[in-house]
């Protein structure tokens, strides 16, 4: 059994504030320690369930949040940026299941800790009529490879988001969002005990969720500012729908995702 694990930071135990997600400083260092502890709990669950190989993608910011020192055998860590597949580098058709750790709700979700979709330039992403965030896009990309999304950890809002998209996904709520930078904690040790058990159970059950298969509907990316759309509309194949929105399609969701990443990267460029 080969597993893919994408690890973000905003949905980790102990993270509640933008300062926690910065690259430097005491809050950032403490947050990385929490990140590693959450990941270790998930890896214990993976290995207890019999994983032969686990590919972990360090998916937050510049992808340099995790130290490979001390990782268990059979685990590979993808670090650095920009990875060709961004948050999902290493996900492919050889994987049996995908897991998402430390995830957060999509941009615009009320009461969700540090909600956003990729970065501050994204106002909304829709696939057809369906609003999606980082998890929804991840699940669709996994579906392209016929890989089921079987597990997620984060706050109560991203867990609800994931359950609405993927019936039967296992999940661990590690904190309850109150405001964007206010949360009620669950004791990290207790949350990690549940994470380990939830991951193992999710991998052992014969009734895994079905892969989330794309229905062919175009993806619409709405930016927070017209300027970002001005930069991104130079991406070949996209159609500008209004001041802030681009529409893109493709022969597969992997194609759509590649175009989506290109638009995000152009929007962050100097033009
Ligand atoms: Zn994120």
Nearest to 232 by CA among 187, 269, 195: 269
Whose CA is closest to 61, among 10, 101, 13, 99?
10
Ligand 1 centroid to residue 128 C-alpha, Å: 22
The pLDDT tens digits along the chain (271 residues) read 999 999 999 999 999 999 999 999 999 999 999 999 999 999 999 999 999 999 999 999 999 999 999 999 999 999 999 999 999 999 999 999 999 999 999 999 999 999 999 999 999 999 999 999 999 999 999 999 999 999 999 999 999 999 999 999 999 999 999 999 999 988 999 999 999 999 999 999 999 999 999 999 999 999 999 999 999 999 999 999 999 999 999 999 999 999 999 999 999 998 7
From the CA of 168, how far away is ligand 1's center (Å)? 22
Question: Ligand 1 mean position to 8 CA, how many Å?
Answer: 6
CA of 242 to the centre of ligand 1 (A): 26
> What is the C-alpha separation between 27 and 18, in angstroms, rounded?
9
**Cα of 251 from ligand 1 centre, angstroms:** 26
Distance (angstroms) between ligand 1 centre and the Cα of 233 equals 23
What percent of the residues of the chain are helix, what percent strand, and what percent coil, each to the nearest 5? 35, 25, 45
Confidence at residue 252, expressed as pLDDT on a 0 to 100 scale: 98
Provide the H-helix boundaries in 79-187: 134-144, 156-165
194 CA to middle of ligand 1, Å? Answer: 22
Question: Per residue in 161-189, is it b (16+ CB within 10 Å) or e — as a string?
Answer: bbeebbeebbbbbbbebeebeebeebebe
Element (H, E) at 262: helix 253-267
Task: Measure 89 CA to ligand 1 centroid, in angstroms.
Answer: 14
Cα(161) to ligand 1 centroid in Å equals 14
CB under 8 Å to 245, separation ≥6 — which residues? Answer: 220, 221, 222, 223, 229
Q: Which residues surround ligand 1, an ion (CB under 5 A)?
A: 8, 134
Domains, in order of start, for the chain: 2-204 (3.40.50.10780), 219-267 (no CATH)
Rounded Cα gap, residues 27 and 103, in angstroms: 19
The rounded distance, in Å, linking the Cα atoms of 108 and 116 is 7
Helix (H) or strand (E) holding 192: helix 188-204
């Amino acid at each position: 059994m080969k597993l893919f694990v994408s690890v973000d930071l905003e949905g980790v135990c102990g993270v509640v504030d933008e300062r926690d997600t910065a690259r430097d400083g005491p809050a950032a260092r403490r947050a990385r320690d929490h990140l590693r502890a959450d990941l270790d709990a998930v890896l214990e669950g993976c290995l207890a369930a019999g994983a032969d190989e686990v590919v972990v993608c360090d998916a937050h910011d510049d992808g340099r949040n995790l130290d490979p020192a001390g990782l268990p055998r059979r685990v590979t860590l993808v670090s650095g940026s920009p990875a060709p597949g961004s948050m999902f580098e290493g996900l492919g058709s050889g994987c049996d299941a995908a897991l998402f750790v430390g995830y957060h709700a999509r941009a615009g979700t009320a009461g969700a800790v540090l909600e956003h979709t990729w970065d501050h330039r994204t106002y909304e992403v829709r696939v057809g009529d369906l609003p999606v965030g980082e998890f929804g896009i991840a699940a669709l990309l996994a579906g392209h490879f016929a890989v089921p999304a079987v597990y997620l950890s984060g706050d109560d809002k991203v867990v609800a988001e994931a359950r609405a998209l993927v019936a039967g996904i296992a999940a661990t709520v590690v904190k309850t969002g109150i405001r964007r930078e206010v949360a009620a904690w669950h004791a990290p040790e207790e949350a990690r005990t549940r994470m380990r058990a939830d991951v193992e159970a999710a991998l052992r059950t014969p009734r895994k969720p079905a892969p989330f298969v794309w229905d062919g509907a175009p993806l619409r990316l709405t930016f927070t500012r017209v300027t970002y759309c001005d930069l991104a509309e130079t991406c070949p194949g996209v159609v500008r729908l209004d001041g802030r929105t681009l529409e893109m399609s493709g022969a597969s969701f992997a194609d759509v995702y590649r175009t989506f990443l290109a638009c995000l990267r152009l929007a962050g460029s100097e033009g």
